[in-house]
Chains A and B, each alone.
Chain A
Amino acid sequence: MKPASFKYVAAASVDHALSLKAEHGDDAKFLAGGQSLMPAMNFRLAQPAVLIDINEIADLTGIRRSAAATRVGPVTRYRALQRDAAFARDFALIGEALPHIAHPQIRNRGTIGGNLAHADPASELPAIALALGARFHARTATQERWIEASDFFVGALTTDLQPDEMLVDIELLLPKPRTGCCFMEIARRRGDFAIVGVAAMMTLGERDECTDVRLAFCGVGETPIDASSAAEVLVGGTPTEAAIRDVAASMQGMIDPGGSVHATADYQRHIAGVLTERALRTAHQRVRDGR
């Protein structure tokens, strides 16, 4: 399965990449890690006329920490995220999800920005971005804007990025103090696309009452689903087993999984409920354990 012909340009800078994208629009695609784009091209499901390689642009990689937020360059490889101890500690959700993303060989090349811009409905990082309330910096040759995660993922394999835009930075807000996080997924084999994945965060106050809950899913809709509202009922009280089970049940009503060759929609809905219970329980336990 060989790709169709295209013109290849190794962009030297962000401006260079953006001017090329402005020129070619949808006929051009950015090549980051290539771990999603190249299979599509080898199957000839994607046939861009122009491929803009952004791997050599130093400005697009790296992790920059500040007091309230961390900014990650989109071409930062999964491997780099896994090996950055501070990052894995600050963003435990991502640290916990990374071993589920494919295999080491893929993680040595694949990038966080590539993953987010590809917006596969079963992909873990978009759901985590929703849970964390991430923001994405998009630029064109002449303009720029910040996009909230909740506005970024608009459909299966579709983001709000316009034909002349590129994702140039990703901002992740640090979870508040006393927040326990848990990412879980069910897949047929480790590294396969999630049948259902859940990112859960629970914040406790001084009296160990729940002050905030975030809940987001992958695999159960065309886009990642923010189901935090289903967990709002936990806020203000001490999360009990029964309360967590109720959250799981009401969350199941908020999702509309499509099923796949690997799982029926009902199984996905069922699993989403099971994972909700387990992830919330674990997040709660972790914050109590001080993790």
Chain B
Amino acid sequence: MRVVDPVLQELRESLLRMGSLAEAILEKALTAVWKRDAVAAGEVKGDDLEIDRLDVAIDEAVLRILATQAPVADDLRSVIAAKMIATDLERVGDLARNIAKGAVRLAEHPEVAIPPRLRSLGDEVQRVLHRALDSFADGDAVVAEAVLEQDDQVDADQDVVIRAAIEEITGRPDLVSQGVDFILIAKNLERVADHATNIAEDVILATQARNVKHAAKLES
């Protein structure tokens, strides 16, 4: 076993833990929205701190590995990808916090039925994030590619939810606050999906040495 192997393994485990945490607080925030649970929503902020701490730890670990081990080839790509994935996961944590804030506001206002499309968007995004994290855990570029393909669908579904919410608001001006919160939650969910996409792109770079970022934009 090489000197660098345990260090790389530790980095990987930190990332996996960060990924689980991100999924967990996204779940908690969304559940708080669906169940109007202001208490649970309040806990999310504290949970996010743990993610932030992991982000800083991973920063340090990456610097140390680059300086002392001078990794090349696969190892180098894995280490760079790890840093990028950590950044994306940290952003997911922040977005979950935003969703939780939305949950608190919804709980404080008169109850409105959760639009079913919003709910299914939430489930969809959670699934996308989960698959992206799976592709990282398994080093599976095929699954990562599938994640990339789902992004367009998520964007489309988010558009539908927002338009429906806008229609509701124009019809019922007394429900503006809830409507706006639904829109914001939808937007945050869409950005979570973007970050999941980034994670999938990083996995492809690490495993296949192919950089597919901004592919659509660059090609046109």
Query: Is B truly associated with A?
Result: no
Query: Which B residues have a C-beta under 8 Å from some C-beta of A?
Result: none
Query: Which A residues have a C-beta under 8 Å from some C-beta of B?
Result: none
